[in-house]
Amino acid sequence: MKESLEPRLQSFRSLPRLPLTALLLTWNETANIARTLAGLSWVPEVLVIDSGSTDGTLEILASRPNVRVLHRTFDSFASQCNFGLDQISSEWVLSLDADYGVPSQLPIAMPALLQRAERENLAGYSLPFRYCIDGQPLRGSLLPPRTCLYRTRQGRYQDEGHGHRVGISGKVVSLDLAILHDDRKPLDRWLASQQKYLRIEAANLLATPSGRLSPIDRLRKHTPLAPLAALLFCLVLRGGLFDGRAGLTYALQRTYAELLLLLWLGEQRSRRQRIQAATRAVPQLDHQADPTVPGQH
């Protein structure tokens, strides 16, 4: 990515300073952060909210002249992002994860995008994703588009399941420029994160009325078909069969995640049933032991 950006950035640096800050969250991201920052050298300021990295991430961040780091103990993704937004004074923010890569066309397109936003009174732009396995972009994925570029004061995050979502006050339009999702952390880190995230996701699905869920989430909540659907969707409908080993790896990742979610849903349902059964049994025991009830002596 750095090689494709640099020739264009030479002419871009002569343009006026953009009213833009990039916002990143980090925790032990040495596998990704240098690559992500290399694609953001054109952004005037990159604000990083770090939640206690100990693996060398902070040293990489300190080596970048346009990076400012703030430290905050992690409580939720939405709280971290909202804290970051409160520290930003620029009109626009580019909100990214530490394993995202910006499209090489975005730096050159930015002035025109900001001018369009003024003409059409836009509040933000939504960008599609291209998932990567070991740096190889796939033909398709399960990831929906994300509103990454928006006016700072018109965005606010809220937690949603194991993740977070930004709400934008105003009109958002879609762009064809795709964000690369390129997480190269070790497999054991990915497995550990899935355990944590999908447990939260299961609790969220069970707590949300089915009428408020998307069709996909209703499928996940009420049937055992989601793992098979994920495998077929990734390999066939999204063309993973033509991506070779990378496509198969992604399909297996998503199938594993859906299987794990299915197991968590079953475990949490069983736990709730046991608690409800025990709760119903308590009044009956109290009634039997109550000496004031006639006929017990």
List, for the chain, all residue ranges whose pLDDT scores fall below the cut of 50: 1-5, 297
pLDDT digits (tens, 9 = 90+) for 8-29: 555 555 556 899 999 999 999 9
Task: Convert 107-169 into a string of H (helix), E (strand) and C (coil).
Answer: HHHHHHHHHHHHHHCEEEEEECEEEEECCEECCCCCCCCEEEEEEHHHEEEEEECCEEEEEEC
Q: 177-231 pLDDT, tens per residue?
A: 999 999 999 999 999 999 989 999 999 999 999 999 999 999 999 999 999 999 9
pLDDT score recorded for residue 285:
57
- Percentage of the chain modeled with pLDDT above 70: 89
Q: Which two tokens stand for residue 14?
A: 């002569």
Instruction: List, in order of start, the domains of the chain with CATH numbers.
Output: 2-181 (3.90.550.10), 187-272 (no CATH)
